[in-house]
Structure 1
Amino acid sequence: MRTVAKLKKHIAERRGDNLHKLTTRLVKDYDTIVVENLIDRSSPGTARLVWIMTLL
Protein backbone atom coordinates (compact mmCIF):
# COMPACT_ATOMS: atom_id res chain seq x y z
CA MET A 1 0.00 0.00 0.00
CA ARG A 2 2.86 2.39 0.65
CA THR A 3 4.02 2.19 -2.94
CA VAL A 4 0.60 3.22 -4.26
CA ALA A 5 0.43 6.14 -1.83
CA LYS A 6 3.91 7.29 -2.81
CA LEU A 7 3.03 7.04 -6.50
CA LYS A 8 -0.14 9.08 -6.02
CA LYS A 9 1.77 11.71 -4.08
CA HIS A 10 4.46 11.85 -6.77
CA ILE A 11 1.84 12.28 -9.51
CA ALA A 12 0.09 15.04 -7.55
CA GLU A 13 3.39 16.87 -7.02
CA ARG A 14 4.26 16.63 -10.72
CA ARG A 15 0.86 17.97 -11.72
CA GLY A 16 1.25 20.88 -9.34
CA ASP A 17 4.74 21.59 -10.62
CA ASN A 18 3.63 21.49 -14.26
CA LEU A 19 0.69 23.78 -13.51
CA HIS A 20 3.02 26.22 -11.77
CA LYS A 21 5.44 26.19 -14.72
CA LEU A 22 2.61 26.71 -17.21
CA THR A 23 1.07 29.63 -15.33
CA THR A 24 4.48 31.23 -14.83
CA ARG A 25 5.18 30.98 -18.56
CA LEU A 26 1.78 32.47 -19.42
CA VAL A 27 2.37 35.42 -17.11
CA LYS A 28 5.80 36.06 -18.63
CA ASP A 29 4.57 35.78 -22.24
CA TYR A 30 1.34 37.79 -22.08
CA ASP A 31 0.52 41.19 -20.67
CA THR A 32 -3.13 40.45 -19.99
CA ILE A 33 -4.71 37.15 -19.01
CA VAL A 34 -8.49 36.87 -18.97
CA VAL A 35 -10.25 34.04 -17.16
CA GLU A 36 -13.75 33.15 -18.31
CA ASN A 37 -16.10 30.95 -16.33
CA LEU A 38 -17.80 28.61 -18.83
CA ILE A 39 -19.27 26.15 -16.35
CA ASP A 40 -22.95 25.53 -16.92
CA ARG A 41 -24.58 24.88 -13.56
CA SER A 42 -27.29 22.69 -15.12
CA SER A 43 -24.77 20.03 -16.15
CA PRO A 44 -22.15 19.57 -13.39
CA GLY A 45 -20.48 16.66 -15.22
CA THR A 46 -19.03 19.01 -17.82
CA ALA A 47 -17.15 21.20 -15.32
CA ARG A 48 -13.92 19.19 -15.59
CA LEU A 49 -14.14 19.02 -19.37
CA VAL A 50 -14.59 22.79 -19.64
CA TRP A 51 -11.63 23.34 -17.32
CA ILE A 52 -9.42 21.05 -19.42
CA MET A 53 -10.48 22.80 -22.62
CA THR A 54 -9.52 26.19 -21.20
CA LEU A 55 -5.98 24.92 -20.67
CA LEU A 56 -5.52 24.07 -24.35
Structure 2
Amino acid sequence: MIGMGADLIGTGIAAGLGVADTRGIDWIELGIQVALAVLGVSLATGMYGKRRE
Protein backbone atom coordinates (compact mmCIF):
# COMPACT_ATOMS: atom_id res chain seq x y z
CA MET A 1 0.00 0.00 0.00
CA ILE A 2 2.82 2.38 0.84
CA GLY A 3 4.55 1.67 -2.47
CA MET A 4 1.38 2.26 -4.47
CA GLY A 5 0.80 5.55 -2.69
CA ALA A 6 4.40 6.58 -3.26
CA ASP A 7 4.00 5.75 -6.94
CA LEU A 8 0.91 7.92 -7.35
CA ILE A 9 2.24 10.83 -5.32
CA GLY A 10 5.68 10.61 -6.96
CA THR A 11 4.14 10.70 -10.42
CA GLY A 12 2.14 13.77 -9.43
CA ILE A 13 5.24 15.53 -8.10
CA ALA A 14 7.22 14.62 -11.22
CA ALA A 15 4.41 15.93 -13.43
CA GLY A 16 4.38 19.16 -11.45
CA LEU A 17 8.12 19.52 -11.96
CA GLY A 18 7.80 18.70 -15.66
CA VAL A 19 9.94 15.55 -15.55
CA ALA A 20 7.23 12.87 -15.68
CA ASP A 21 7.38 12.27 -19.43
CA THR A 22 10.87 12.20 -20.86
CA ARG A 23 12.56 10.11 -23.52
CA GLY A 24 13.69 6.74 -22.22
CA ILE A 25 13.55 5.79 -18.57
CA ASP A 26 12.24 8.52 -16.29
CA TRP A 27 15.02 8.31 -13.71
CA ILE A 28 14.03 11.46 -11.83
CA GLU A 29 10.43 10.28 -11.48
CA LEU A 30 11.63 6.86 -10.35
CA GLY A 31 13.95 8.47 -7.80
CA ILE A 32 11.13 10.56 -6.38
CA GLN A 33 8.92 7.47 -6.10
CA VAL A 34 11.62 5.42 -4.37
CA ALA A 35 12.42 8.25 -1.96
CA LEU A 36 8.74 8.57 -1.03
CA ALA A 37 8.45 4.80 -0.56
CA VAL A 38 11.51 4.75 1.71
CA LEU A 39 10.12 7.66 3.72
CA GLY A 40 6.71 6.00 4.00
CA VAL A 41 8.11 2.65 5.11
CA SER A 42 10.38 4.37 7.63
CA LEU A 43 7.46 6.29 9.10
CA ALA A 44 5.24 3.18 9.22
CA THR A 45 7.98 1.15 10.87
CA GLY A 46 8.52 3.85 13.45
CA MET A 47 4.82 4.06 14.22
CA TYR A 48 3.90 0.37 14.16
CA GLY A 49 7.21 -1.41 14.72
CA LYS A 50 7.96 -3.47 17.79
CA ARG A 51 9.23 -1.46 20.69
CA ARG A 52 11.98 -2.80 22.91
CA GLU A 53 11.98 -1.84 26.53
TM-score of the superposed pair, with normalisation by structure 2: 0.47
**Higher RCO structure, 1 or 2 (CA under 8 Å, sep 6+):** 2
